[in-house]
Amino acid sequence: MLKSALRTFTIATVVSSAAFAAHAANPKVGGAAMYEDKNIVENALNSKDHTTLVAAVKAAGLVETLQGKGPFTVFAPTNEAFAALPKGTVDTLLKPENKAQLTKVLTCHVVAANAMSTAIEKMIKDDKGTHDVKTVGGCVLKAKESMGKITLTDEMGNVANVTIADVKQSNGVIHVVDKVLLPKM
């Protein structure tokens, strides 16, 4: 009886440890756990570092899209990245009359693929140091790798650093970036 109880306890411990390890593999973003079984929007709602991005996604009407099947790779700018834009830019973009421009900016952060950092690094290497990343918004970002970090240069010449890579989602992956990527204006 004791052996049976001990065996059951050991199996339960192994199973719960495996389940914890599966969730622990995903990095926290904005102080919140990111779960592989939740979609991009569900996870972003929990990140205190992405409240501006969430507000922008809502204002652009992209919530349903980013909750969709995907796969999507989202280069997710932080609140600090939005705050670094010229004063008044975010408020202007969030106005209903600027929805098309906001949508363009946001979709320049989205790729219709599930691109983990290792895949991006391989494409950069295969392309001899710079890989063109085509976004769903029609922008072309220049991906580079330096000292183990991926950078993205937008069409305006701004360089964003991937600060947290490979945050797995049920419908793709998020890479947190420290700049807002802009289309050519």
Residue 104's nearest CA partner among 150, 46, 154, 69 is 154
pLDDT for the residue 167: 93
- 80 pLDDT higher than 90: yes
**Average pLDDT value for the chain:** 86
Domain ranges of the chain: 28-177
- Distant-in-sequence, close-in-space partners of 164: CB < 8 Å, separation ≥ 6: 27, 29, 175, 176
pLDDT for the residue 126: 95
pLDDT for the residue 138: 95
Least confident range from 14-18, 89-93, 135-139, 143-147: namely 14-18
- 6 pLDDT higher than 80: no
- 151 pLDDT higher than 90: yes
Number of other residues whose CB lies within 10 A of the CB of residue 101: 15
Q: What is the CATH number assigned to the segment(s) 28-177?
A: 2.30.180.10
